[in-house]
Amino acid sequence: MTTDDAQNSREELLAEIHRLRRQIELLEGARTGAVASNSDPKAEEAERLELEDQLRQSQKMEAVGRLAGGIAHDFNNLLTAILGFADVLGERLIGDEEACADLEEIRRAGETAASVTRQLLAFSRRQMISPRILVLNPIVTRSNRMLLGMIGENLTLSFTPDPALWEVCIDPAQVDQVLVNLSVNARDAMPQVGKLSLRTQNINVDGERCHGCGVRFDGEYVLLEVSDTGAGMDDVTISRLFEPFFTTKGKGTGLGLATVHGIVHQNNGHQVVSSVMGEGTRFQIFFPRSHGTDAARPDSGQLPQVAGGETVIVAEDQEVVQRLVVRMLEDSGYRVLAAGDGEEALRRAEKLEGAVDLLVTDVVMPNLNGKQLYDRLFNRWPELRVLYMSGYSGDSIAQHAALSPEACFIQKPFTAKALLRKVREALESPSGNG
């Protein structure tokens, strides 16, 4: 995370803290008589304590989320190099079965690490998503067979759908993630026998309190409920339930429920948890009702992956990632100029006599970010295309770097095939795609 990103994050968090503190001060003033009020002093004190608890929860989850997102970003840079050079080396080892088997183990380990970073990005609400308008019932029904195989024969599964369920706007893959993580959690709470129950329902919420962020919410929501008849949890466990790496099982990463928290809040939802020791646990997920149109982008279609000798500038401040991208592009026939940051890329571009066809650039770089670099180069070559790279997700980067909705973007880590396809997509895209 850059200094600017850290500063922006700090300012956003401070603004939220100041807002909550002001509410607390007003309530404190009312309690001490500084503000005229006819309210019940005991009720005011209870509300003040609730706001203080909300402030602490908001600060904790926001801080941990930003830390998790920063860790995922750094690991994605490393994993890009590990998985990318594994692909490059694999092309040279074809025919050597023993070496290829060893290389496959490296690739599997890298992909496992990449899945952990995806969970961290989900918790910090920075994972890539493709939301669209849908009804949850078909997705839950489709997932039942998968869930049955996952929870085992000793447990029973039931689903009670609301036949007139409202629409929500969400990536269907995220619904599957929520169902899998909550079902695994329920399965582990019922090691012998038990029942896992799924339910959907339209609901008008009035002042319910979210266990993820502490705020109270109301309005029209679609409820996705997952309940079990397992061991249950005490209040101390529930209070830490959505923290990453927190687990009471003695196994696993402790990221399952943290992932659920991130997905729910990335989609403007909330969660409520109730549990009784020895009787079971109920997770209630509230997704806001959607009245909009389909949010999915149209498929871009199949694009050629064959290089035509185009000139590409690669700007990447992580040296190992820069070497990898240059290697992949040169092996595919592109003419490549490499730069360690935006200012070096400008200096190299000034010495060129011909035009540059494509800029492949990291978004977050010191001094000059990828968007600023593209804007400077675009003034010289109006037909220039751009492909942005980052260890953060597209949504998070778009917010911080003001990328256009049409911008071509690839998230780290990526394979050689994925990079080359994105390069062709960028080169074939309309002018001004930055």
3-state helix, strand, coil in the chain (%, to 5): 50, 20, 30
**Which CATH code of 3.40.50.720, 1.20.1090.10, 3.30.565.10, 1.20.1260.10 fits the domain covering 132-288?**
3.30.565.10
Contact 133, 254 (CB under 8 A): no
311-428 placed in CATH 3.40.50.2300: yes
Task: For 251-264, write each residue's pLDDT tens digit.
Answer: 655 667 877 888 88
Q: Is pLDDT above 80 for 244?
A: no
Q: With a cut of 50, say whether residue 342 has pLDDT above it.
A: yes
Quickly tell me which residue has 């185009």 as its tokens.
310
Judge whether residue 288 has pLDDT over 90: yes
pLDDT digits (tens, 9 = 90+) for 166-205: 999 988 878 888 888 898 888 888 988 899 999 999 999 9
pLDDT at 34: 44
Residue 26: DSSP 8-state: H
Distance in angstroms (rounded) separating the CA atoms of residues 185 and 182: 5
- Would you state the pLDDT for residue 297? 40
d(CA 310, CA 312): 6
Q: How confident is the model at residue 168, as a pLDDT?
A: 94
378-to-322, 382, 393 alpha-carbon distances in Å:
22, 5, 24
Tokens read off for 110:
């890298």
Q: How many residues does the chain have?
A: 434
Give the sign of the dihedral formed by CA 303, CA 308, CA 310, CA 315: positive
Rounded Cα distance, 393 and 266, in Å: 12
Rg of the chain on CA atoms, in Å: 25
Start-end of CATH 3.30.565.10 domains in the chain: 132-288
pLDDT tens sequence across 82-95? 888 887 787 777 77
CATH 3.40.50.2300 region(s) of the chain? 311-428
**What per-residue confidence (pLDDT) applies to 357?**
92
CB 47 within 8 A of CB 27: yes
What's the pLDDT tens digit per position in 124-161?
445 555 678 999 999 999 888 878 888 888 899 999 99
